[in-house]
A and B are shown apart, each in its own frame.
Chain A
């Protein structure tokens, strides 16, 4: 029943028709945003086609490993890029995912799907428990505390015989098993691409929603955000949990691709690599971090010069990016093309325009629209 019909039928409370009326009720605007799902499908489709074309080659293996890192970095776009939540815990959850599937498959006979689902659940619970504690600490304290996490978790893993100590765990199953080795690599790679598409769709959905707007407001000024009614702790926790679960999924993918889990996956070196992937690519660009993760993974394994001097190269790249283009390569590309880097920007404009039009305020007016009344 429309509002006017309801008013005529007297089913709306308030002043009777003809009396001086207050502001009209604003109909709730529901946006159907096809971008997240569409982007997720595109990413999965393109990834699948590329990996099928690579036909199980070493390059395909490298790209698939890069996809595993990309799943992690997509979560970091939300944490680092939009929420500016500086938490150095992604490698820890990556390790949780990798060791999780390794232990469940080799010691308890789980299938790859069962272990992946179990790891997602385990990571969510662990992230909730850890996040409920760490997100109490404000920005700098959170960063310092999570800097310590990889250190003692790494030491625990290397000292644990149950986790294989320095040798790690061998025999991790691929995500999908084909009739032969090549088919297994291709099908597993396609499964990884689908998982990446799902991760990207979820993160995009969050970024382009009201929650994403709240996260950006918090990133700019937490006190102001709080005064607007944003629940800081809840949002921080949600971002932490989502980022951590995606990191765990990424770790599980990497372990399934490589067939082995070693403590290196949760070392501070791994954390540094992830940070580089995000900063150099563009911490606000999902496409950027996906491409960046794959390219950087390829570069670190492609030539001995790069792998030997990776620290120096990463350091120089990071400094150049921080000074010249803080939004990373993706930011530079967008600037060249005259676009905004963050997906939120254009979505906000279109959403905001829709809101204003709903309220009868055109592009010329402003404020409460009273100026347009005459």
Chain B
């Protein structure tokens, strides 16, 4: 039983990462129909940047967090101004499914390269926001950072869900993704929603990286794989439902953990990817995309 509970907690912790990235992806896709494949890299910059500012630049922890998040927000704003504004507001550049993937794909490559140049190939971990020993309940143990990670994911997912569901601004954001033309005729500024939600989700991902990094550490390469699983989690939420993306991310994490604990610790990732692959291929309708008729 204790093994099951420990695996469950470990799975929820890693799943929270997938879930929050899935939620960030789902919200932004809902606004502009573009996937943010750099969301994991923003988390990486959050974690490594804060660690560097505290350890190398000597900033106090809170100041390091603030400076780091401001830097991530600035980078996101810059990318929107230089690339996305040109592509979507000025009508230049590649469109269609190429545009869905490759703008942020390019950003991800740049962020990885910059991180490697600035921070090297070491593993970095920011100081824990909630320091202290692991908490023990009966036979299972949970890191304080793990509780924070799960809590932040759930709260963020609920907050994003509530924003889209209950506020006028959230409805307007949804309208941007449903019909660009239709939203402009009622005076909604598509560009503003796209920009601010991109910045907001980038900062949220960075904050999450700070919260999570004491558990596992980040390298410059940490972003892409997490982004990919987050994309899958968002996909299973039809790329529209951040709350559901968090739930699915948590489920993926638990499945990954259980496969590792009860099937194979070496091949658990392989089995997970194969499982996800199979679901997408044989049941694409879970992505809100129906399979072609035979």
Contacts and interface: CB of A to CB of B under 8 A. Distances in A.
In-complex A–B contact (CB below 8 Å): yes
Contact of A152 (B93, B94, B277, B289): B277
Contacts of B100: 140
A152 B287 CA distance: 21
B280 to A, nearest CB: 4
Interface in B113-152: 113-114, 116-117
Contacts of A141: 235, 280-281, 284, 287, 289
User: Looking at B96, B99, B108, B269, which has the most chain A CB atoms within 10 Å of its CB?
Assistant: B96
A58 B273 CA distance: 39
Interface string A137-157: 111110111011101100110
Contacts of A312: 109-110, 112-114, 117
A84 B280 CA distance: 19
A136 B92 contact: no
Contact of A318 (B106, B112, B235, B280): B106
B117 A144 contact: no
Interface in B216-236: 224-225, 228, 231-232, 235
B98 interface: yes
A84 B273 contact: no
B96 A311 contact: no
A316 interface: yes
A311 B270 contact: no
A326 B111 CA distance: 22
B113 A309 contact: yes
B266 interface: yes
A137 B279 CA distance: 11
Interface string B258-294: 0000000011011001101100111010010111101
A138 B269 CA distance: 25
Given A139-B289, A141-B287, A326-B93, 17 more contacts: A84-B97, A86-B97, A136-B284, A137-B292, A138-B291, A140-B100, A140-B287, A144-B231, A147-B228, A147-B231, A275-B102, A275-B105, A312-B117, A314-B109, A315-B111, A324-B93, A326-B94
* CB-CB nearest 9 A-B residue pairs: A312-B113, A315-B109, A315-B110, A311-B113, A152-B273, A326-B94, A318-B106, A141-B284, A319-B106
15 contacts: A136-B284, A137-B284, A138-B289, A139-B97, A144-B287, A149-B277, A151-B228, A233-B294, A318-B106, A319-B83, A319-B107, A322-B93, A322-B106, A324-B93, A326-B94
